[in-house]
Amino acid sequence: MQLKATIRGRTYAFSSVKEVLGRSNPPKSGDDLAGVSAREAVERVAARAVLAELTLAELRENPVVPYEEDELTRLVEDSLDPQAYAAIRDLTVGQLREWLLEPGTTGALIRSISPGLTPEMAAAVCKLMSNLDLMVAGARCEVVVRANSTLGLPGRMSSRIQPNHPTDSVQGILCSTREGLSYGCGDAVIGVNPATDTPESTAEILRALHDLRVRNQIPTQHCVLSHVTVQMKALELGCPMDLMFQSLAGSERANRAFGISVGLMDEASELMRARTTNQGPNFMYFETGQGSALSSEAHHGADQVTMEARCYGFARRYQPFLVNTVVGFIGPEYLESGRQITRAGLEDHFMGKLLGLPMGCDACFTYHADMSQDELESLKVLLGAAGCAYLMSLPVGDDIMLNYQSSSFHDIPSVRALLGKRPTPEFDAWLHEREIMDGLSPGPRFGDPEVIR
Amino acid sequence: MSLTRELMSALRARLGSASPLPPPPLAPAIAPPSRVFPSPATRNAFAVEASEHTTALVGIGAVGTRYATDVVLQFQAELAVAHEAVAAELPPGWAEEHGLLGLKSRVGSHREFLLRPDLGRRLDSESLARLEERAAKDVDVQLILADGLSAVACMGSGLALMEALARECGSRGWRLGTPLVARYARVWLQDEIGQVVRARVAAILLGERPGLGTGDGLSAYLVYEPRIGKTDGDRNMMSNIHPRGVPPPQAARRLALLVAAMLEQRRSGVSLDLGALGAELGEAASTGYRAPQRRERLVHVGEPGGPGRPGGPGEQGEPPAQHQYSKPGPAPGIPHRKEPRR
């Protein structure tokens, strides 16, 4: 294994695959904080040159967290598809990049090799790609899932309504939800982050959203994003639940800080399989985001892109209906600026899709990050063009409970019209029936929340 | 000439040399666009109903698929308020002017403060020496005012909260530490400060991460037996302290109850039993509670309350009721802004 490269007479030597992966990343404040980023621009290119020549087999043999120490590494290693792996094992990372960009590489072909890829491989190829590379390859990946509606079909872009409320007022949540539906949003999920993490309040919100969905015959699904153990108790209270949610991290230790493990998630998804109110077959919903492992000091000296990819290695075990990277929420110590947040959104979307997940993105910023509203609006168009399965949507993009800025109800129909994208086919028909949309144009009841009762 | 060249020149000939678009029609009179509400009656009904339940900006209508201009301006004003609060810094000499002992973390600049939480959790050597030399030791309660993510909040409600909490503590006979203010401070800075002055309880009051339109909220974090190495699970906190959330005098009473519980039970954080205090503490007993806030209309052309533009927004763009809760008071001074954000 060659871990040295020379640029203009200077030789750069790296001590491990993990170090090469870290030094290859485009600049991120979180990698600086962790001390794993390139110390200068030329070193970064040297690391990429080394990375481009590593084979995928070498990446499999060098996971960033050892097999013995980490259940996620074991999960990935033990469940890798031998046939898919055999097809790609001798490619270098540079060749994988080129294969993904080749004209003959169809979505179906990518799907055929995906179960043979480890998260480290997805992260590695990501580091050799520019933003436009990530978009071109991301748009090519084919991931289609189904619950009460069918998400991820070509030419479609969906959205989550996120009607959060600082005190979980059900009336307040329903007001935001009705507003969002009247703008054609909510075909991915109507999902509430609760202020109070109890089974009773989770069940109360779920019942109210379920009633709204049934009353108005809306072909979508609902979810309350409390801790998975709270949702399991809520299910035992007998409430309707279309999707079960959990935040995931990229190492066993980081997941312990989230209060979860592979065993717990197995149990949760089995309970959900038995109890869910959605028509299936997909019923889990996960959120991830670069920097979460470092924030709990559980990154094992790896960079945040690689740790993020490892979340997807965990998520794919459960064939989720939605996976969402919350890309600018964590704060400037991990993603400092609009440039870094934009890059991270495109990276995560690509890596998740490559690993077979229906990737959405919460393109967002906190008010202490150096990102402008204009940069955020641009990112939504980039994600839409890259084939992102869904974006968030909130009133004016303002989360009044979590205090950050995301996409708005108005942004979804705007991006759809610009890119010629439609919502899920089921939801599209419902919007037409309710006269909210007329194809890609606003219909007579567009923006009128009274159309939903 | 190659076949391709021949085809290209034939194509060019067919496209002709005239301007590719016909001349535009004469501009007709353009009426002010109306927003896409089915009728003012239903719009108002929804906005009024919604304003009773949420401060989310709903019932705002659209122009095409985008916002009406006054919604854009309200949004931009709220964003600017949040960004100014983040960018503000305590001016030099502010501590002394207010009779406080000034300290600084190991952070050297505002940008570094945002990027290096680790440095914001420890005192620089000069501050450490000053604290050791000038602050009272072996105290019951050490109060620390700090900028955190909003120096505006620190300089606004922060002083009032600190004074109110000092009175509450004094009236209970607790021995108070020298009043301090810390610059570039993160929550965990209270551990080192409390350890140096040998406080039984340390309370840090600091500007919280601003939300849209709100830059003046404070959070308070309390820890029993502050020592470097305490974790978040060792702390109790109260957020959303400002005139429209939990007002400082009310917050001070509740914080004093928390301190009393810590002194009595000799612990803090998740293991602190607040059962007996539930009713008195109100919302402070539950974690993560945020009282609803009111949304102020921020943008007025001309003077607040002055006559609007005749035939203007009143006809087609009257903002929904929840924008109109209250007239803004005198603008809080936002002293000493640092350079524009990069």
Query: CA-to-CA distance for A106 and A138, rounded, in angstroms?
Result: 11
For residue A202, what pLDDT is reported?
95
- Average pLDDT (B29-37) is 67
**A407 inside 8 A of chain B by CB:** no
Question: Does the pLDDT of residue B314 top 80, yes or no?
Answer: no
Going A24 to A30 to A35 to A41, the CA torsion angle's sign is positive
Question: Residue A194 contacts by C-beta under 8 Å, 6 or more apart in sequence?
Answer: A168, A201, A202, A205, A224, A225, A226
Query: Token pair for residue A273?
Result: 């399989």
Residues A209-225 have a mean pLDDT of: 98
* Residue B14 at interface with chain A, using a CB cutoff of 8 Å: no
Which among A202-211, B18-27, B245-254 has the top mean pLDDT?
Answer: A202-211
Answer yes or no: are the C-beta atoms of A2 and A36 closer than 8 Å: no
Q: How confident is the model at residue B35 (pLDDT cuts 50, 70, 90)?
A: low
Can you read off the two tokens belonging to residue A55?
A: 């084979």
Amino acid in position A44: R
pLDDT band at A195 (very low <50, low <70, confident <90, very high): confident
Q: What percent of chain B has pLDDT over 90?
A: 58
Give residue A174's pLDDT.
Answer: 97
Task: Categorize the per-residue pLDDT at B341 as very low, low, confident or very high, splitting at 50, 70 and 90.
Answer: very low
pLDDT at res. B295: 66
CB pairs under 8 A between A and B: 147
User: What element of type H or E holds B196?
Assistant: helix B189-196
Confidence bin at B301 (pLDDT 50/70/90)? confident
Confidence tier at A83 by pLDDT (50, 70, 90): very high
3-state secondary structure of B340: coil
- Closest approach of chain A CAs to the CA of B275, in angstroms? 17
Does pLDDT of A298 surpass 50? yes
Do B115 and A183 make contact, defined as CB atoms within 8 angstroms? no
Q: Is A58 helix (H, G, I), strand (E, B) or coil?
A: helix
pLDDT for B326 beyond 50: no
- Report d(CA A315, CA B64) in Å as an integer: 38
- Nearest Cα residue to A394 out of A195, A191, A161: A161
Q: Do A167 and B290 touch (CB under 8 A)?
A: yes
* Nearest residue on chain A to B286, alpha-carbon basis: A196
pLDDT at B90: 95
pLDDT band at B305 (very low <50, low <70, confident <90, very high): low
Angle at CA of residue A291, ends A302 and A19, nearest 5°: 15
Q: Is A18 helix (H, G, I), strand (E, B) or coil?
A: helix
pLDDT for the residue numbered B306: 55
Output the CA torsion sign for A275, A276, A280, A281: negative
pLDDT tens by residue, A373-397? 999 999 999 999 999 999 999 999 9
Local structure of residue A395 (DSSP, 8 states): G
Chain A residues near residue B54 by CB distance under 8 angstroms: 165, 169, 171-173, 175-176, 400
Residue B119 DSSP class: G
Tell me: pLDDT of B42 over 60: no
**What are phi and psi for residue B317, nearest 5 degrees?**
-130, 25
Taking CB atoms and an 8 Å limit, are A169 and B53 in contact across chains?
A: yes
Distance from the A384 Cα atom to the nearest Cα atom in chain B, whole angstroms: 16
CB contact under 8 A, B288 and A410: no
Give the closest residue to A330 by CA, choosing from A379, A383, A293, A378: A293
Helix or strand or coil: residue B180? Answer: strand
* Tokens (6 digits) for B195: 């350890």
What is the signed CA dihedral for B11, B13, B19, B22, rounded to 10 degrees?
A: -80
With CB atoms and an 8 Å threshold, state whether A403 touches B209: yes
Would you call B50 and A400 a contact, using CB atoms and an 8 Å cutoff? no
CA Rg value for chain B: 28
Q: Please name the residues between 82 and 101 in chain B that touch chain A, using a CB distance below 8 Å.
A: 82-83, 85-86
Q: Which of B161, B103, B100 is nearest to B127 (CA)?
A: B103
Are B326 and B294 in contact by the 8 Å Cβ rule? The answer is yes
Interchain pair A176, B117: CB under 8 A: no
Q: What is the mean pLDDT of chain B?
A: 82
Q: Which amino acid is at A414?
A: S
Pairwise CB contact (< 8 Å): A176 & B54: yes
Question: Who wins on pLDDT, A83 or B231?
Answer: A83
Give the list of residues 6+ apart from residue A446 with CB closer than 8 angstroms, or none: A182, A183, A184, A413, A436, A437, B36, B62, B65
Chain A: residue nearest B73 by CA? A396
Confidence at B31, pLDDT banded by 50, 70, 90:
confident
Q: Where are the beta strands (DSSP E) in chain B?
A: 101-104, 141-146, 180-183, 201-207, 218-224, 235-241
Query: ipTM exceeding 0.85?
Result: yes
Kindly state whether A332 is in contact with chain B, defined as any CB-CB distance less than 8 angstroms: yes
* 3-state SS, one letter per residue, for B123-144: ECHHHHHHHHHHCCCCCCEEEE
- Is A367 in Cβ contact with B82 (below 8 Å)? yes
Q: Which residue pairs, CB below 8 angstroms and at least 24 apart, start in B110-113?
A: B110/B184, B110/B338, B111/B342, B112/B184, B113/B184
The CA distance from B166 to B158, in Å, is: 12
| Cβ of residue B148 closer than 8 Å to a chain A Cβ | no
Contact A59, A118 (CB under 8 A): yes
CB A174 within 8 A of CB A180: no
B46 and A29 within 8 Å at the Cβ level: the answer is no
Q: What is the percent of chain A with per-residue pLDDT over 90, rounded to a whole number?
A: 97
Residue identified by tokens 């043999």 is A61
**A281 cis-preceded (ω within 30 degrees of 0):** yes
Residues of A in contact with B38 (CB under 8 A): 444-445, 448, 450
Distance in angstroms (rounded) separating the CA atoms of residues B159 and A269: 50
**A148 three-class SS:** coil
Tokens of B320: 């929904």
**A167 contact B CB<8A:** yes
Whether A206 contacts A174, CB under 8 Å: no
Question: Could you tell me which chain B residue has the CA closest to the CA of A29?
Answer: B115
Average pLDDT of the residues of chain A: 97
- Do A176 and B212 make contact, defined as CB atoms within 8 angstroms? no
Burial class (CB in 10 A: 0-12, 13-18, 19+), B260: middle
Q: Is the pLDDT of residue B287 over 90?
A: no
On whether any CB of chain B is under 8 Å from the CB of A165, the answer is yes
Indicate yes or no: CB of A368 within 8 angstroms of CB of B149: yes
DSSP-assigned states of every residue in A166-234: TT--HHHHHHHHHHHHTTT--SSEEEE--SS--HHHHHHHHHHHHHHHHHTT-S--EEE-S-HHHHHHH
- Per-residue pLDDT of B151-195, as tens digits, reads 999 999 999 999 999 999 999 999 999 999 999 999 999 999 999
- Residue B58 contacts residue B331 (beta carbons within 8 Å): no
Flag whether pLDDT at A163 surpasses 80.
yes
Q: Please give the torsion angle defined by the CA atoms of residues A403, A409, A414 and A419, in that order, rounded to the nearest 10 degrees.
A: 90
What pLDDT is recorded for position B71? 87
Question: Could you give the CA distance from residue B183 to residue B335 in angstroms, rounded to a whole number?
Answer: 15
Strand A145-146 relative to strand A150-151: parallel, antiparallel, unpaired?
antiparallel
B contacts of A337 (beta carbons < 8 Å): 342
In this predicted structure, the answer to whether residue A243 has a pLDDT above a threshold of 50 is yes
DSSP A333-379: TTS-BHHHHHHHHHHHHHHHHHTT--EEEE--B-TTSB--HHHHHHH
pTM for the structure as a whole? 0.89
Nearest to A445 among B38, B62, B83 (CB): B38
pLDDT of residue B276: 72
Interchain CB contact of A233 with B (< 8 Å) = no
A87-109 residue pLDDT tens: 999 999 999 999 999 999 999 99
SS3 B149: coil
Which of B227, B277, B291, B284 has the alpha carbon at shortest distance from B255?
B284
- The residue assigned the tokens 């309880």 is B201
pLDDT of B315 strictly over 60: no
- What pLDDT does A287 receive? 97
